[in-house]
Structure 1
Amino acid sequence: MSESTTITAGLRQQEVYLDNNATTPVLPCAAAAVLHHMQTVFGNPSSSHSTGIKAKVELETTRALARQVIGASSGQIVFTSGATEGIQSSIVSALLDARSRGLTGPDVLLLYGATEHKAVPESLKHWNHVLQLGATVKAIPVDHRGLLDVAFIRNHVADAAMICTMAANNETGVKQDLELLQQVIRSANPTVSWMVDCVQALGKMSLDIANTSIDYAPFSGHKLYAPKGIGFLYVRHGAPYQPLIAGGGQESGLRSGTENLPGIAALHAIFTELRKTTGSVFQPESVLWQHREALLCALRQVFPAMVLNSNEPDIVPTTINFSVPGFYSKDIMDLFDAASIRISSGSACSSKIPTSFVLDAMGLPAWRSQGAIRLSFGPAMTPQECQQACTAIGRLTAIVQQCCLVLSDAQPLADLAMSGLTQLKHENLCSYLLVCADSHQAVIIDPVAPLANRLANMVQGQGLQLVAVLDTHLHQDRSSARDDLAALLPLSEPQQVDELGWPIGRAQINCGQYQLTSMATPGHSHDSRSYLLQQHQQTVAAFVGDLLLPGGIGRLDLAGSEPLAFASSVRTLLTKVGADTLLLSSHDYAQRFFTTWRLAQAEQPLLTEVVQAQQWSAAWTATLQAQSEQLCAANSYQCGVVEVSWSDAKAVVDAPQVQQFLAEYPLTVVVDVREPYEQSAGQLDQYLPTGVNIQHWPLSRLCDALISSALTPDQRLLLVCRSGNRSLVAAKVLNRAGFSEVYNLKGGVAMLS
């Protein structure tokens, strides 16, 4: 896509909120109850005067309603600050009881479902340590549907002091068969303490707590249209209980501290709606299933290849968890968020690509875990709100097709033609797509298998002719994706190629206005090559594989490495490139995107000595030895060692300061580093003053902006993305490249919208 062009996506859209499993808006009736009890019935329930008595009546009325809603005719209902407190209270009580009965040591088990909310295993580990039980905390496996392994429970629960399961999963919506679990648990261990996380169950599935042997069941108000900071805990009659909070003896001594009466009043309003047989804001289950089907239909229009990670009959209707081949969670979240549709990845962050520990536990393929999206609506969603959500999702269909995220039968659009260099990343691996818009030709360098479909869509969607697919060397950490691409994309001219994809007998590859030449640069491996990129007879960049990395060098201790050839290869390369020519690597371990010889010298001064000298120095030999030891000790395979960059934006600009900043510095260039599909779904100019100079340079096109000199170090730049994170990365990259006036919009478009 031309950086001066944006796709018209219509006027600013109204927000569509589809992340109700994370939290919900407060219902008007609940908000009114909160305000009433903050201003009118504001008494302390422990006070004996009339104002306090009114508050006490509200407290106990709500407690009685809670019993009715969850089917708990006996046992205790304790009001808490939310589910996390209820979980702590349950676990502390059960573990103290276990300790008093001598159930300690590694042979004693504390069991929890492998897909439980992290609050459960983390609390088990914490209190097991604090209370010095020394028990073994063990996860109960689940099958590919997310259902607990009953045989595992049967074989292990006899040795357990506590078992924790959940009624419905927060990521997948998968329901557990509580009746079956009870039969298995109690037949093997009648006295084990059993906690069931019911946070996602209330209002979505029937509960009959009194007819179970569940000991503890925590609930949270803000998951069902009440404010944050209120919840309640069910404790079965006779179950061990030790107050987590001591003090004035409120809640019959079970939880001290003045009760959150406004929050409890909100629960009263919610429970009243749940108890209505007609006229309730809560929809019948049949309507919720209809909503789900309508939303699925809209999603499939956008992503025909989407795959559900959980499905009927195992789920509550209000949760849709899906993945799309070729997409990471972040890709879809960024697209939807730009269109003012709020969804979630439901993923736990890792050092690389975020993955869903829930889907990992279910044994689903990595691409589904890395691409998992959770769309969750509330049981009070109206048909009108459902239709609004479906319409908003449907609008994305044209955008994902125009931006070549998915293929369609439509002809490529000329005004969306890509041009120049795009850098795509998978974890720390880099792939490159070079496109000449004039000749409609393309070359792919160092393709990564997980990006093969994305690359194929970009080439096919733009109607490009694929001239070549090249590797800089045979990568030892992965297989080449050239065969994968060959199955998806035919070359424009069938030709014989060598093992790295270079046409045999050709000195140069032409790609319209660009030319590529190959030169041997052994060192990292014996077959390593660099490809010089020329435009208008000028060398503007070089694809150097793992010869030099952004912030370091490729490792030289592998089978096939040629350390003595390394210096010679770098010297040869430097006869072809300038000190500031972009050197593009096949790995980027520190989010630097590229290096140059000037930067490489500054970041590793010994490189200059090695290149200029004709022999190895003792210092260089010691450096290589230290790097080799570091790499061999690393937890994961790495193709080189780099130092992390600490350069940063010159300053951050808060959203309220934007207009003042742009008025003070009218020549500022606002650089939108969001990807084209985000820019299309939610244009930036709707949030900024008229006449502001906005340039569209996605993070994946930042190298091309430098190659083409579209961004120059003498400009004052204000970088913007969705949340402020990617623009901060871009600020560091540009700062390292010599840009001195780089500013970052704190919080990104999220704070402007």
Structure 2
Amino acid sequence: MTTEIYLDGNATSAVLPAAMQAAVDAMCERYGNPSSTHSTGIRAKALLDGVRSRATRLLGAGKGRLMFNSGATEGIQTAVLSALCALREKRAAGEAIGSLLVYGATEHKAVPESLAHWNRLLGLNLTLARLPVGADGRHDLAALRTMAGDAAFVCTMAANNETGVVSDLEGIAAALEGSRALWMVDCVQALGKLELNLAATRIDYAPFSGHKLYAPKGIGMLYVREGAPYTPLIMGGGQEAGQRSGTENMAGIAALGAVLEALEDGATFRPHAELAQFRDRVAASLEKAFPGIVFNTPFAIALPTTINFSVPGLSSKELLDVFDAAAVRVSAGSACSAAKAAPSYVLDAMGLPEWRSSSAVRLSFGPLADEAMIAEACERIARCGEALRTGAAPLDGVMQLTANGAHTWLVFDAASRQCAVIDSQPELSQRIDTMLKARSYTLAAQLATHGEAPSQDVQLGCSTLRRVPLDAQRSIYLLGDSARVRHAFIGNAAPREATPWVSADTLLCPGSEDCQPCCTSLRAEAHRAREASHLAGVELDGAALDALLRQHPDALLIDVREACEHAADSAGPGGRPAVNVPLSRLASAAAEWMAHGEQPPLVFFCRSGKRSEKAVQCLRRLGYGAAWHLKGGLALAQPMPLAA
């Protein structure tokens, strides 16, 4: 089994072994409530006070408050609430407070959303003002100087979570000179990576999160400058000197304390210079693997542990998929926004071209990185580059691409090196152009199933695409010969509208996911009422897969990931051999499978089980009964390896 290389440290980190031990010790030996006055409680209180003292030294907190909480989001909420409550009290007392709530354009979304939330609930009705950044990702200090006089509260960050850009905090402080504004600095990515001496600055609030630096999730800290206004977010039992009620998370605090101890001893984590060397080696391997790569931030002003890059012609998803197949874990940006398929607002704010913000990948590691991990990461990156080149093999038959719920269909003829595109979408044009150029194909025709279209047929080698008009604005395209139509591209027409020209088992390729996620047929549509029984029992866990393969040694394991993903990791579940039929090519393969009288068992798999689920549902609907898929995909079929 391939051990994963975890390069998504800005999202979260593994837990330091010493931190695990400290948490276990707190739960087993020092499990007392620190508010209790008996000896067990006193020992817990001593632990809590010791960690706070260590954090105070490391952060240069001086006489400022330093309280433990659940993490950065709570810290941000508390800081925003504290600042805005103070502003409301001042305004009620007749004092001038300013009219702007200023936040950096590249801040984590928790900041502007918290500002908007509390501004509305407290009835302040101040104006949220977005502080622009330059092309290098740093705050526009000239713009800040123009805002400073009207600013009531300013929110920036020490280092950006997507790009690693380190803010010019001294420049921001100078721009705020003479301003009445309170100032919060998100220090989540700074802990363990930047030297901090908070009490020596005018920073009023600084939230921290333990899980970004080898502590468990659910533990964080908030620094509040001496004299800065403070309003508790949580009231109740009076813990943390009344600043944050709720029994303290002693296991988390103990674990965080172990991480802080490792920071203070200076022997556990790599120094900045060595991390910068690691970054440069990884960057060099990326340049070699992906010709044309563009790095989205200057290394000179970024954390040495973060690389943000884009590759022309490749989407974030394509790159993430091939990295994941090679067991290299990276991300497309903030983990909190990963499920939202949208360009990076951080790179958009920097004014970078849309293709760079929509295809960006973030690679980040922590200060525990070592020589062996970096060397293996570079080897895997080379493998990913080779896999993408291998995946550029000649194509033949039908391919499906989907964007925003709409399908684009491509018909390839390998012999003539020609391709026809049906219902092309602007979002896919660059990807299609890159695909054709990489394989030396020419674009024979661009066709549409809606609107006016050319009436002539399109010849692709020995195959013909024949246009059949349904009405003045709609057409369908038939692929095959007069004896047999193999595929019909029907756009958004109802399947039954193709009845005069197709057989019951012709594969109907629709124009949107609302119609079908893959393909269908007239026979499948007629049996749609029995769909529930067709789809019963299609999921296999590891044990069920083993049993099925023992019972059916002729079964085929089919990897429905893209060709480049399969090239990066060609083994199936348990290291078994597998064949590659990408989900985008399912319509081609399904036509062949359905044409055979016998139906050998097919077991589909992918990374998470989402693509393989679509594949098995499509085959079962078409009437192929001997089809299953691996539930949860390779991610859940394999034991979770330790992160590097």
Under TM normalisation by the shorter chain, which class is it? 0.7 to 0.9
What root-mean-square deviation, in Å, do the aligned CA atoms of Structure 1 and Structure 2 show? 3.5
Structure 1 pair 319/475, CA: closer, same or farther in 2 (3 Å)?
farther
In structure 2, which of residues 384, 387, 400 is the aligned counterpart of residue 423 of structure 1?
Answer: 400
Is 1:149 equivalent to 2:140 in the alignment? yes
What TM-score do the two structures reach when normalised by structure 2? 0.87
- Is it true that 1:239 corresponds to 2:228 in the alignment? yes
Distance of 1:259 and 1:131 partners within structure 2: 28
Q: Does residue 253 of structure 1 match 2:242?
A: yes
Change (3 A) 1:121 1:467: closer
On the 8 A contact 1:326/1:453 being kept in 2, the answer is yes
- Which of residues 119, 123, 144 is equivalent to 1:132? 123
Q: Hey, what's the Cα distance between the residues in 2 that align with 1:654 and 1:132?
A: 54
* CA 1:107–1:401: 2 relative to 1, 3 Å: same
Equivalence for 1:194:
183
Partner of 2:641: none
Report the Cα offset of residue 153 of structure 1: 3.0
Cα distance in 1 for partners of 2:288, 2:481 equals 40
Residue aligned with 1:542, SS: strand
Within 2, Cα distance between the matches of 1:42 and 1:168? 36
- Do 2:188 and 2:212's aligned partners in 1 also have CA atoms closer than 8 Å? yes
Give the aligned partner of residue 577 of structure 1: 502
Report the alpha carbon displacement of residue 403 of structure 1 after superposing the two structures with TM.
Answer: 0.6
Report the Cα distance in structure 1 between the residues aligned to 2:216 and 2:459, rounded to whole angstroms: 63
Contact 1:671/1:717 (<8 A) preserved: yes
- The Cα shift of 1:744 comes to 4.4
Give the Cα–Cα distance (whole angstroms) in 2 for the partners of residues 124 and 715 of structure 1: 59
Q: Does 1:283 align with 2:270?
A: yes
Q: Which amino acid letter does the alignment assign opposite residue 425 of structure 1?
A: T
Partner of 2:421: 445
Against the structure 1 CA distance between its residues 38 and 730, is the aligned structure 2 distance closer, same or farther, given a 3 Å change threshold?
A: same
Q: Tell me the CA shift for residue 362 of structure 1.
A: 2.3
Q: 2:17 aligns to what?
A: 28
The answer to whether the Cα contact below 8 Å between 2:418 and 2:460 also exists between their aligned partners in 1 is no
Q: Helix, strand or coil: the match of 1:244?
A: coil
Q: Does 1:659 align with 2:609?
A: no
Q: 1:224 is aligned with what amino acid? A: L
Instruction: Give the whole-Å Cα distance in 1 for the aligned partners of 2:383 and 2:237.
Output: 56
Q: Aligned partners of 1:450, 1:366: CA distance in 2, in Å?
A: 11
Distance 2:260 2:616 in 1: 50
Corresponding residue of 2:480: 534
Deviation track 1:230-250 (CA, whole Å, cap 9, x = no partner) reads 111101111111222223322
- Which residue in 2 is equivalent to 1:391? 379
User: Comparing 424-433 with 28-37, which one deviates more in the overlay?
Assistant: 424-433
Q: Which structure has more RCO (C-alpha within 8 Å, separation ≥ 6)? A: 2
Unmatched 5+ stretches in structure 1 = 1-11, 405-415, 477-498, 553-569, 604-644
Question: Deviation of residue 423 (structure 1)?
Answer: 1.9
d(CA) in 2 for partners of 1:84, 1:44: 25
Q: How much does 1:706 deviate?
A: 2.7
Asked if the contact 2:97–2:152 (Cα under 8 Å) also holds between the matched residues in 1, the reply is no
Q: d(CA) in 1 for partners of 2:245 and 2:595?
A: 61
Distance 1:646 1:158 in 2: 65
- The TM-score normalised by the length of structure 1 is 0.75
**8 Å CA contact retained: 1:33, 1:269:** yes
- Structure-2 residue corresponding to 1:179: 170
Three-state SS of the structure 2 residue aligned to 1:533 is strand
Q: Name the CA shift for 1:717/1:159 in 2 (closer, same or farther; >3 Å).
A: farther
Q: Return closer, same or farther for 1:727/1:234 CA change in 2, 3 Å cut-off.
A: same
Among 157, 176, 184, the residue aligned to 1:166: 157
Letter of the 1:80 partner, please give it. Answer: N
Q: Who is 1:517 aligned against?
A: 466
Distance 2:132 2:38 in 1: 54
- Is residue 469 from structure 1 mapped to residue 445 from structure 2 by the alignment? yes
Closer, same or farther: CA 735–21 of 1 in aligned 2, 3 Å: same
| C-alpha distance in 2 between matches for 1:114 and 1:142 | 7
- Partners of 1:540 and 1:377 in 2: how far apart? 49
The equivalent residue for 1:117 is 108
Partner of 1:650: 536
CA distance in 2, matches of 1:648, 1:382: 51
Aligned pair in 2 of structure 1 residues 584, 248: CA closer, same or farther (>3 Å)? Answer: closer
Query: Structure 2: how far apart are the matches of 1:663 and 1:542?
Result: 35
Partner of residue 609, structure 1? none
The residue type paired with residue 61 of structure 2 is A
In percent, how many aligned pairs have the same letter?
41
Distance 1:577 1:551, change over 3 A: closer
Gaps (5+ residues) in structure 2?
Answer: 639-644
